[in-house]
Amino acid sequence: MPELIGIARMAAQSALMEAKSQVEYFEIGAHSILNRTKPNMPFRWTINPYRGCEFGCQYCYARYTHEFMGMPDGRDFEFKIYAKAAAPEILRRELRGIDRADGIALGTATDPYQPAERRFARTRAILEVFAAEKGRRLSITTKSSLVTRDVDLLCEIARRNVLAVNITVTTLNRRLARLMEPRAPRPDLRLGAVGTLAQAGIITGVFPNPILPMITDSEESLDALASAARQAGAQYFGGGPLFLMPSAQKIFFPFLESRFPKLVRPYKRLYAHSAYLGPGYKEELRARLARIRERHGLASAPVDYRPEQWAGEEQGTLFPL
């Protein structure tokens, strides 16, 4: 067996914290919490309090992150969850070294409010660090209504920092959501979380990502989703098509074969040469989303503002749409 190095060795040495049904939870050391993104991203840094994600979405692009830990079977990503140790201490130190204006995104390769968070509260510990900061620009992305547990902290953060919470809802159809996102909260629970956050004055939006060709991309289905998002209190409605790299295809294509067999060939054609869809599809989708946003009075992204422009008021009431 080859000698394990780096993160693969750390994963192999991680202490088991808990095992329930098929899922095992480990604690893993971390050298760093802030990860720098590629230059064309809307944020400079990402934070992922966990490695792996129990929600197990069939299309999840982040499965490749377990490959770095010596786990090439894409399903390990759902069943071996690693909570990062000493994250707040490391984060406090790393924040001192970066520009306050840099965008920081929490939850890009794992869901920060997946079931592990109920027990291990690593996301909450990270938010406590931000609650003591000012002038930072933080966004959080989740599919979980558990985010409402932290409303107190989120309000605290929003008083002195720029904060936006993106709730991902891909479809209103519960059955379809269960198939695609087997262990994530129901769409109505996620929209309920949008309402709770919006009422608390937190800038909140809905992302229907990833938008799946021929499954969730019809104007009718996206329009119904945008309407429900607006009613719940969302201020913006983002949207981008499915990105399907080879590690994600390993899980997604068998899923299509079992649930949407007629779509296997069209999908294989669409993703034959790249993990990205071509400009024609993207342009059409962009125009569709623009029409939908226009109809429902939704922005495409959180309103941009500087925290020093406001003093004391809640964010959401300062920038009504």
Contacts with ligand SF4 by CB under 6 A lie at 53, 55-57, 60, 62, 110-111, 143, 181, 184
Residue 299, φ and ψ in degrees, nearest 5: -80, 170
Query: Could you tell me the smallest distance in angstroms from the CB atom of residue 116 to ligand SF4?
Result: 11
Please name the residue ranges forming H helices in the chain. 6-13, 64-67, 76-79, 87-95, 116-120, 122-131, 151-160, 174-180, 187-199, 219-232, 246-259, 264-270, 279-296, 315-318
- In the three-class reduction of DSSP (H, G, I as helix; E, B as strand; rest coil), residue 80 is classed as strand
Query: Could you tell me the smallest distance in angstroms from the CB atom of residue 217 to ligand SF4?
Result: 17
- DSSP state at residue 71: -
Rounded Cα–Cα distance for residues 149 and 161 (Å): 19
303-to-130, 162, 173, 213, 249 alpha-carbon distances in Å:
20, 10, 29, 28, 35
Considering beta carbons, is residue 117 or 181 the nearer one to ligand SF4?
181
- Residue 310 CB partners (closer than 8 Å, separation 6+): 318
Query: Could you tell me the smallest distance in angstroms from the CB atom of residue 196 to ligand SF4?
Result: 19
Cβ-contact 43, 105 below 8 angstroms? yes
Considering beta carbons, is residue 161 or 216 the nearer one to ligand SF4?
216
Considering beta carbons, is residue 144 or 221 the nearer one to ligand SF4?
144
Considering beta carbons, is residue 131 or 248 the nearer one to ligand SF4?
248
Query: Could you tell me the smallest distance in angstroms from the CB atom of residue 277 to ligand SF4?
Result: 17
Query: Could you tell me the smallest distance in angstroms from the CB atom of residue 48 to ligand SF4?
Result: 9
**Directed axis angle between helix 219-232 and helix 187-199, to 10°?**
40
Query: Could you tell me the smallest distance in angstroms from the CB atom of residue 184 to ligand SF4?
Result: 6
Considering beta carbons, is residue 275 or 318 the nearer one to ligand SF4?
275
CA angle, 231 then 112 then 89, to 5°? 135
- DSSP state at residue 242: -
Query: Could you tell me the smallest distance in angstroms from the CB atom of residue 78 to ligand SF4?
Result: 7
For 63, the token pair is 């499965």
Considering beta carbons, is residue 44 or 143 the nearer one to ligand SF4?
143
Considering beta carbons, is residue 62 or 211 the nearer one to ligand SF4?
62
